[in-house]
Amino acid sequence: MTLSNSSRPTLRRLLLVTAGLLSLAACATHEVDYQGEGAGVVGSGARVQAQLETPSVGTAGQDAADDPAVWASAMPVTIQGVSTPGFVAGTDKKAGLYIYGLDGAILQFLPQGLLNNVDVAQGLTVAGHSMVALGASDRSPATTGVTLFLFDPAATDPDNAVRHWGHVATDVVEPYGFCFAQVGDQLQAILVGHEGEVRQFALSAAPDGKPAARELRRFEIGSISEGCAADPETGALYITEENVGLWRYGLDPASGDTRTLIQPIAPDRLVADAEGLTIIADGSARYLIGSSQGDSTFPVWRVDGQAPVWIGRFVVTDGTPTGGVDAITGTDGLDALGGPVGTAFPQGVVVIQDDINDAGTQNFKYVDWRVIRTALGL
């Protein structure tokens, strides 16, 4: 085909645009941290709405709220003089840790540094008492590693609260993801570094009551990673490599770095950045829920069998026209707990970080598990 003179500039412009797009594609193979600019892009999925939300986290315009953890008790406990059937811990990655009631109200704030991901576990014995342990990845220069907290569920004095317990030092440059694993009578802590470093520890209380940690395993994921969730029932450890996909490792340290790619980054399944992970038990079934930050959706797999089974995805839509809670977009971390979680969530709750709100800054929203289960046809 012969091009006219008038066609040549147009072709030149097309070639320049194509070269630019190829350059951008090449850049996309490197680390791409989510900054909230895609929060308006919402993918397809079963539609649900949040039941309630916490106040805003951090100062205006700050990327602060990051990751929650949920704990509930069969009997009410006391936190700062308030009786509550449980709490939600939520990180402000600029300042510390919030403790919320199951109604979303702030019960406590611990100004404990640059905390990123948080998890909670029950059953750690300290000084003869069964305690609730909280752990968070800590990016503070002086305390880089894992910062630990304790809560005494049996104490009834008015000043009972979540207390700072101690610190586990690490060589991870920028701690990012964190999760606990209760393996038999041993509490394990898994730390995921920004660049994909993993450190797995066994935690206990030393004779002086301070935390003691013994490293069990270390391995490399390959690139920027964050979310992790342990499933001791099947011996699995799930980790998201943000721009690659969802991996399943063995929870047993002897399994080394052997892994299986459960879900690669793909449209309508898991869109980069792949972020938080959590497992919820619903009777004999257990479900893994992820955060597909790139399209504000939440993929779900059933994981109580020999291999994860794809279930589908849900999105948390806007309920404000009917006086409800606004939509959830650009989620980083999330956590879930099955069974009774106070009176408001008799069969479980999923707590999700929200990047953009109709009013205020980032916060955490509570979604009734029954609503999600119905929407997905479980």
Q: What is the pLDDT of residues 72-89, one digit of tens each?
A: 999 999 999 999 999 999
Q: Which amino acid is at 303?
A: V
The pLDDT mean for the chain works out to 90
pLDDT at 40: 55
**In the predicted structure, residue 363 carries a pLDDT above the cut 70:** yes
Tally of CA atoms within 13 A in the half-sphere of 188 that contains its CB: 22
Domains of the chain: 36-376 (2.120.10.30)
The mean pLDDT of 275-283, rounded to a whole number, is: 97
pLDDT at 261: 98
**In the predicted structure, residue 185 carries a pLDDT above the cut 70:** yes
Cα–Cα distance for residue pair 372/315, rounded to 1 Å:
9
pLDDT digits (tens, 9 = 90+) for 251-262: 999 999 999 999
CA–CA distances in Å: residue 109 to residues 89, 99, 106, 195, 305? 10, 6, 8, 29, 39
Helices (H) and strands (E) in the chain, counts: 2, 25
The mean pLDDT of 332-358, rounded to a whole number, is: 96
DSSP letters along 314-369, please?
Answer: EEE---GGGT-PPP--S---EEEEES-BTTTBTTEEEEEEES--SSSS-EEEEEEH
Task: Let me know if 10 is exposed, middle or buried by CB neighbors in 10 A (0-12, 13-18, 19+).
Answer: exposed
Cis ω for the linkage preceding 273 (within 30 of 0): yes
Could you tell me if residue 330 is left (phi over 0), alpha (psi between -120 and 50 degrees) or otherwise beta?
left
The answer to whether 342 and 88 have CB atoms below 8 angstroms apart is: no
Is 229 in a helix, a strand, or coil?
Answer: strand
Cα–Cα distance for residue pair 178/328, rounded to 1 Å:
22
pLDDT digits (tens, 9 = 90+) for 107-150: 999 999 999 999 999 989 999 999 999 999 999 999 999 999 99
pLDDT at 35: 36
- pTM of the complete model: 0.89
Task: Let me know if 192 is exposed, middle or buried by CB neighbors in 10 A (0-12, 13-18, 19+).
Answer: buried
The mean pLDDT of 268-293, rounded to a whole number, is: 97
Classify residue 156 by its DSSP letter: -
pLDDT digits (tens, 9 = 90+) for 200-237: 999 999 999 999 999 999 999 999 999 999 999 999 99
